Amino acid sequence: MKPLRTYAVLKSLANDLSQPFITFTAASSGVVNEYLGIISSASTVLTSVSEFITALFRVRALMMLMWGNLVSGMAWIVMSLLPFTGPYITLTYCIAELGLGMSLMGWNLVMEKLSSTSRGEILTQYTAYANVGGLIATIGAGLFAGSSTQLIKVPFILSGIITLSTILVLRYSDVDYEDPARKFHIPRGIWGFFSLTTVFTFFWSFAWPLFPLAQIYIFHMNYVNIAIISVVAGISSLVMRRWVARLITRNRRMAMFLGRALLTVFPLSYALAPSVYFIYLAEVVAGFTSMIGSTAYISYLYDSSSKEDMKVALGFYSVLQGLGALAGAVLSSFVLNLLIPFLGLVVDIKTLLLTSAVLRLITSFWYLKLREVRS
């Protein structure tokens, strides 16, 4: 399994050289309205679409990983060679996220095979390996770029190169997912989980286009601030890994509730914090929510599906989450621009952030009503 650990570190290194900065870069370059809404939700929407499409074909997990990383790596390099205008950055980022979605589907299938004996421990272990590389990459990229949208192109190019290099690492992996003969149906008992995921993601994504605008127009951040935010969240993830693993194993339903309910902290902090230092403090919570987000919900899906249903179930889960994210982010961008003449930009941003926080909290309680399942 050593090649997979190496892959997890390199992949996180590549992602964290670019992903934490993309919406901030777009907003700083003057990208607004529908383009910002698309960019802020693309990481969920297009990865979801890509995962769904790949779920419909008989493709081995490692092949998905390789082809996905090829598409994603090339897209980041091309993006860095073009001007950061709305159409260019949106198109190339969307292509990168389509490739990422393909690789994520392959990765989730490999993890399902590896983690069948101990969901919480193994899934959080691999997430921790990934976070180690990400911490180094993010702070380095932020310090290097400072306030320059031109200098950030260098980390973006490195992100593409490292992503391409993971293809070589995967060639040495001896763990693959053998695609079974699939029945094209979804287990009846999982539709409640799917519906809740769609609704929550809609309210969750409502705040996504607002965060980069708040970072620029309320807190006047630069790339160093963005890097610190990401690093605080990453360190918190490493510290909380074992505790989160135990919580998922003992009471997964409570873990899923807390993982969603505590997401209210972020829009609240951006709406109410008097300085950027309170944003840093709030990001400590991100360690918990990100570890839960990358493990508990996927493990619930694993245990709710048969091996024959797994690939299609993952695809449906992803595409429903993507639809919720796209609708929420686009609606948020539309409402924001609609209310600016009446409230002003800053008050408008804060009002919509508070709205998102309340809706996130209300919806999260429904996770306590889910039927618990075990492998």
Residue 22 domain-assigned?
yes
Residue 285 domain-assigned?
yes
Provide the domain limits for residue 101.
2-171+188-369
Cα dihedral value 263, 90, 212, 287, nearest 10: 40
pLDDT of residue 125: 59
Residue 184 CB coordination number (10 Å): 9
d(C-alpha 373, C-alpha 375), whole Å:
7
Question: What is 261-310 written as a DSSP string?
Answer: HGGGHHHHHHHH-SSHHHHHHHTHHHHHHHHHHTTHHHHHHHHHS-TTTH
Largest Cα span, the chain: 60
pLDDT of residue 119: 47
Residue 180 domain-assigned?
no
Q: From residue 11, how far is each of 84, 129, 140, 232, 351 by CA, in Å?
A: 24, 10, 16, 19, 36
d(C-alpha 22, C-alpha 42), whole Å:
11
Residue 122 domain-assigned?
yes
pLDDT of residue 9: 81
pLDDT digits (tens, 9 = 90+) for 105-148: 788 777 766 655 554 455 455 555 566 667 788 999 999 999 99
pLDDT of residue 293: 80
Question: What is 328-355 written as a DSSP string?
Answer: HHHHHHHHHHHHHHHH-HHHHHHHHHHH
Q: Per residue in 253-291, is it b (16+ CB within 10 Å) or e — as a string? A: bebbbbbbbbbbbbbbbbbebeebeebbebbebbbbbbb
Residue 192 domain-assigned?
yes
Residue 126 domain-assigned?
yes
The number of angstroms, rounded, from the C-alpha of 33 to the middle of its chain's C-alpha atoms is 22
Residue 99 domain-assigned?
yes
This prediction has a pTM of 0.86
- Each residue's pLDDT expressed in tens, for the chain with a length of 375 residues: 577 778 888 888 899 899 999 999 999 988 877 788 899 998 888 877 776 776 677 777 888 899 999 999 999 999 999 999 888 999 999 999 989 888 887 887 777 666 555 544 554 555 555 666 677 889 999 999 999 999 999 999 999 999 999 999 888 876 666 655 555 567 677 888 899 999 999 999 999 999 999 999 999 999 999 999 988 988 887 788 778 878 888 888 899 999 999 999 999 999 999 999 999 999 999 888 887 886 788 888 877 777 666 767 777 888 888 899 999 999 999 999 999 999 999 999 999 999 999 999 999 999 998 887 665
Determine the 3-state secondary structure of 371 from DSSP.
Answer: coil
Total structural domains in the chain? 1
CATH code assigned at 222? 1.20.1250.20
Residue 177 domain-assigned?
no
